Amino acid sequence: GAVVSQHPSRVICKSGTSVKIECRSLDFQATTMFWYRQFPKQSLMLMATSNEGSKATYEQGVEKDKFLINHASLTLSTLTVTSAHPEDSSFYICSARGRANGKLFFGSGTQLSVL
C-alpha cells in the first residue's frame, strides 16, 4: 500500500508551547489529507480535512485557531497545536487519500504528552 510518513512519533512538551506535526505522502500525491485525534481505547475522531492549496475544513468543536493546519503541497500537510495544554495530550494521526482509488492510508501517529 501507499506510504504516509508522520513525524515526530512522540512529543513531550511543556504547557503553553506549540508543537508541529508533519505528514508526508511518500509515493503518491495526496489531494486530501485528514487529521484525527484518538484518546485511549476510543475510536478515531476526525479533526479536520485539509485540501492542497486551500483552507482546512474543521469539524464541529475543533478550534481552528488552536489546531493550525497547512497543506502547502500535494505531499505535505502540517498540524500545529498552539499553546498546548495537558488536555491536548492525545494520539494524533494523519491520513492521506490518493487521487486514483480513494483509499485512505494512515501515518504512524504522533503521541503528544503535554506536561
Minimum distance, C-beta of residue 58 to another protein, in the bound complex (Å)? 13
Minimum distance, C-beta of residue 110 to another protein, in the bound complex (Å)? 9
Binding site for another protein (CB under 8 A): 1, 6, 32, 34, 42-44, 46, 49, 51, 91, 93, 97, 101-109, 111
Minimum distance, C-beta of residue 22 to another protein, in the bound complex (Å)? 15
b (16+ CB within 10 A) / e for 72-103: eebbbbbbebeebeeebbbbbbbbbbbeeeee
Distance, in Å, from the CA atom of 107 to the CA atom of 76, rounded to the nearest integer, reads 12
